[in-house]
């Protein structure tokens, strides 16, 4: 392993895919271009769309890596690789995440603190798991010793979203590698640069070549991964419709394992005894983060009637003021950026327009400025029961507020959704907090917090918000298959 060599992070260096330790031209000649959503200027033309032959080649190299030296790496060797990777990223992560900002619209002001810390902590957390994946032993009371081992699946694929491309890629990669697998990653077609820039750092940290590979492209490329007969698992983060297609493709091909982290329409319930300032802080931040382009965004607020007027007045004022924070995402003083591209902007804009006939618009709902994909933070009150903005994920800075009187009433409203990813309950009553959190139909519940996840605990959704779990020990189990060994002690 040599010393770290700085990579040229100019966007025009990333018009290739990364296979077997090298940036190479794709066999497929299909390409696309990307724009910066702050002004819709072209960032790069000629980004490859990986095809069947490219994926076949990636799988070939991945299989060779899985059956090569990587298979004999000790737990300590793996830990050392993760620690070296974390050390490399200590210096290199900020410029790489800044590169991704060019097409994601995520403000660079988030990078030195929230982004960098989250990613580094995740890698160090997983580094400690390499020697802790214990199996089971059952005694020979019936003449057989029973052993259970957790073994890697082999070649896995990660299909990542646009809103947190580097963090999602590194999280999926860490879970796959800790458990001894190899990974082919496909970043979102909207944000491929950072993932491509990160790929060679794995070899520099000591991981063998071919253990991590990156292919680019949109849904068609992801479909090839999902139906490939020699890929054993797909971990996908994205929309429900795409997640369903991936599960179908996995089932119709080789029954590969699938983890799906899909959309959300997260409710936050604010009772009349809540710490009002705390509830405001969490719920406002939960809809403004990444301009609302977050699966766990608290987009449905239920506020007790006794405090509704006070809460709504302050909440609306804060979201109205937040429009002043919109600006150039590459400016370190800017807190809020644009939506990711014109397609997403037009989708959100159209949903807001239809929402005006289904609910009371009290703030926002308009484009900010004359150029780019900026949508002002938006609040609707008292939507009709079947309103689109109330029922469907918007994936923009848009929240809907309803009032309630009783606990039973608000639980019915909060759970009346096909989404079940995140929810929050704000109250000072600990028994109510425990009672309501047990009855909320979501994979994660925050008490006096919302839209927050933790590396040590499983993250994923119920109902159509997903399948399986990521993070913590549960996330590692999703990358292994248990094997039972029966030893006849009387032979």
C-alpha to C-alpha distance for 240 and 74, rounded to whole angstroms: 38
Return the closest-CA partner of residue 333 out of 325, 341, 344, 321: 325
Return the closest-CA partner of residue 174 out of 472, 483, 485: 472
- How many CA atoms lie less than 13 Å away from 275 in the CB half-sphere? 8
- What is the layout of strands, in order, in the sheet containing 300-304? 360-363, 378-381, 398-404, 300-304, 267-270, 422-426, 444-447
Catalytic (active-site) positions = 261
Q: Which residue has the tokens 């799988």?
A: 59
Cβ(292)–Cβ(379) below 8 Å: no
Cβ(282)–Cβ(98) below 8 Å: no
Return the closest-CA partner of residue 299 out of 414, 428, 464: 414
Residue 353 burial by Cβ neighbours in a 10 Å radius (0-12, 13-18, 19+): exposed
């Amino acid at each position: 392993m040599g010393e770290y060599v700085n990579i040229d992070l100019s966007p025009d260096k990333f018009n290739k895919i990364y296979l077997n330790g090298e940036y190479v031209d794709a066999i497929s000649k299909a390409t696309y271009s990307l724009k910066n959503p702050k002004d819709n200027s072209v960032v790069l033309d000629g980004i490859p769309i990986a095809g069947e032959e490219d994926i076949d080649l990636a799988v070939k190299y991945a299989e060779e890596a899985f059956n090569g030296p990587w298979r004999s790496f000790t737990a300590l060797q793996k830990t050392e690789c993760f620690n070296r990777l974390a050390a490399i990223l200590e210096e290199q992560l900020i410029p790489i995440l800044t590169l991704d900002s060019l097409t994601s619209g995520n403000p660079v002001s988030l990078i030195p603190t929230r982004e960098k810390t989250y990613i580094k902590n995740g890698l160090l957390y997983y580094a400690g798991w390499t020697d802790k994946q214990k199996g089971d032993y059952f005694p020979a009371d019936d003449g057989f010793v029973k052993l259970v081992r957790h073994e890697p699946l082999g070649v896995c694929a990660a299909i990542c979203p646009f809103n947190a491309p580097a963090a999602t890629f590194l999280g999926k990669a860490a879970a796959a590698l800790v458990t001894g697998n190899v990974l082919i990653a496909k970043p979102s077609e909207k944000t491929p640069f950072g993932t491509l820039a990160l790929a060679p750092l794995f070899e520099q940290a000591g991981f063998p070549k071919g253990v991590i590979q990156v292919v680019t492209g949109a849904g068609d490329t992801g479909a090839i991964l999902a139906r490939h007969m020699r890929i054993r698992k797909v971990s996908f983060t994205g929309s429900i419709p795409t997640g369903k297609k991936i599960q179908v493709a996995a089932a119709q091909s080789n029954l590969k394992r699938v983890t799906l982290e899909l959309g959300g329409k997260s409710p936050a319930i604010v009772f009349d005894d809540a710490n009002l300032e705390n509830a405001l802080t969490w719920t406002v931040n939960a809809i403004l983060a990444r301009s609302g382009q977050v699966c766990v965004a608290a987009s449905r607020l239920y506020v007790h009637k006794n405090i509704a007027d006070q809460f709504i007045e302050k909440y609306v004022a804060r979201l109205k003021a937040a429009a002043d924070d919109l600006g150039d995402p590459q400016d370190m003083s800017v807190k809020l950026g644009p939506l990711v591209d014109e397609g997403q902007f037009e989708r959100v804009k159209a949903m807001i327009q239809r929402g005006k006939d289904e609910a009371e618009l009290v703030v926002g709902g308009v484009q900010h400025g004359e150029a780019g994909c900026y949508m002002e933070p938006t609040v609707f009150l008292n939507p009709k029961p079947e309103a689109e903005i109330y029922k469907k994920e918007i994936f923009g800075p848009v929240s809907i507020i309803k009032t309630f009187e009783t606990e039973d009433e608000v639980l019915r409203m909060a759970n009346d959704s096909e989404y079940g990813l995140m929810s929050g309950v704000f109250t000072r009553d600990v028994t109510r907090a425990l009672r309501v959190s047990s009855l909320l139909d979501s994979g994660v519940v925050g008490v006096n917090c919302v839209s927050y996840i933790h590396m040590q605990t499983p993250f994923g959704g119920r109902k159509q918000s997903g399948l399986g779990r990521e993070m913590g020990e549960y996330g590692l189990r999703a990358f292994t298959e248990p094997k039972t060994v029966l030893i006849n002690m009387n032979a």
